[in-house]
Amino acid sequence: MISIRKNCSGHAPYTRRHFLFGAASASLLSVHADAEVTTSRAAARGSARACVFVNLNGGASHLDTFDPKDGPWNPADADIRDSNGITLSRRFFPKLSNMTRDLLVLRSCASWEAAHERGQFYMQTAHSQNPALAAEMPHIGAVIAHEKGASGLIPPFLAFNQSNIQGATFLGGPYSPMMPPATRTGVSTLTHNFYGTQSQQRFNERFGLLEALDAPLRQAPLNDTMAAYAGYFARAKSMMYADAVDAIFKFSVEDENRYGANSTGRAMIVARNAVRANNGAVFFNITQGGWDTHVGQFDRGITANIYNLTNDLDRAVGALAEDLQSSGHFNETLIVLMGEFGRTPGVLNSRLGRDHYRPVMSVAMMGGGVKGGRVIGKTSADGGEIVSFDWSEQRPIYPEDITATIYSALGIDWTKGINDTPSGRRFYYINGAAEDRFKPVEEVFG
């Protein structure tokens, strides 16, 4: 184990997210200056610049998404076919069925948890929800933001459609998720046009007055939280009246029609815009809810049925992949689709749905150095157990391994630990990674 002294106080100013949405609480804790970082100096791949992480909140059924099987549980119109070695339902995934050369499916995955709250926490942090430590565990997007820095026009970590998302905790406000609205009109508070053509000038004058009045407190702050606000407001101001920033959060009716006029599609458009702009954002958490399909999962009278869920996902992800390929950003953008656990195998339950299932789940990936057109792992005929792991460790692929794979793709050493946290406890990016208990799935990259 190698010990490295790293100055963790050199954070960029606080993000616009706090200014816009009042989430300054993330700045109450911060990593100690000159905190000690430990690492095994793992060799990260660095095949991706950004990651779009699609959180299938509720626990997507592997049997009805990325590991379909012939069986009496399928609806008559499922239309399950093989395309380039990957079996998918063309009814559920019409676009991705035609993009299988770029798609990788991990079918030998498993979760540690079978309850939503704990499973979501695990997926968001790669750590168990230990009550003694949970408040200090940052989201993996915050870790990535911390590693990549917050030097662009927009914050490094954007999150959409999820209220119970873990923040940056002790890593500090600059790495907290900005949670903007995803609408065609963009973020309305980026400009304050109350005074016509004089609006920006008046805004700058008032901001200058604020800085003058606050100068004594900025120069000699009463505490760390107050000190954080100086940079915090300057950071927010840098996003104001900036056409390049404004354009990221706006999109056309045509785009909305292609991606889907729903929260998943709209968020995916903003992620596309931000990836193309390359103005600081590196991690996008896009949550699609509704996957807790205990009842009537094929009932079209229920809004969150498998038809709607899969079609919305397929449309948005397919359009994102197409646009990133067209603009030349696909190979540098890792796209990951996963939920917190799988769902019960074989026949449907008595309520014509599926219940929580920890032993088997599926994860899909595209772009960012991923070698597509392949499947890793194999499950039994009813999807109830893993019969072939198909990777070096010959065991299930756990959330820690998926996180290590994401970190490696983004050029981050997944074995790092920060010793000097506010609580005095050591924070490992991934528990056990330094001892090689969890690691990237190198087979993902071919």
How do residues 260-302 score in pLDDT, each as one tens digit? Answer: 999 999 999 999 999 999 999 999 999 999 999 999 999 999 9
Q: How much of the chain exceeds pLDDT 90, in percent? A: 75
pLDDT tens digits, residue range 152-185?
999 999 999 998 899 999 998 889 999 999 999 9
* Euclidean distance between CA atoms 236 and 226, whole angstroms: 16
Q: Predicted confidence band at 229 (pLDDT cuts at 50, 70, 90)?
A: low
* Type and span of the H or E element at 402: helix 399-409
Considering the chain, what is the average pLDDT of its residues?
90
* CA distances for 161 relative to 122, 266, 268, 318, 412, angstroms: 18, 10, 11, 19, 26
**Dist CA 149 CA 259 (whole Å):** 30
Q: What band does 218 get if pLDDT is binned at 50, 70 and 90?
A: confident
What pLDDT, on a 0 to 100 scale, did the predictor assign at position 264? 98
Tens-digit pLDDT profile for residues 98-136: 999 999 999 999 999 999 999 999 999 999 999 999 999
Per-residue pLDDT at 231: 61
pLDDT above 70: residue 26: no
For residue 343, the surrounding DSSP H or E stretch is: strand 342-343
| Per-residue pLDDT, 36 | 77
Q: What is the DSSP string of 18-41?
A: HHHH--GGGGGS-PPTT-EEEE--
User: Collapsing DSSP states into helix, strand and coil, what is residue 262?
Assistant: coil
Question: What is the spatial distance between Cα 166 and Cα 124, in angstroms, rounded to a whole number?
Answer: 7
Kindly report the pTM of this predicted structure.
0.90
pLDDT surpassing 90 at residue 230: no
Residue-wise pLDDT for 8-25, tens only, equals 333 333 334 433 433 333
pLDDT of residue 8: 35
Instruction: Give the pLDDT mean for 389-412.
Output: 98
pLDDT band at 151 (very low <50, low <70, confident <90, very high): confident
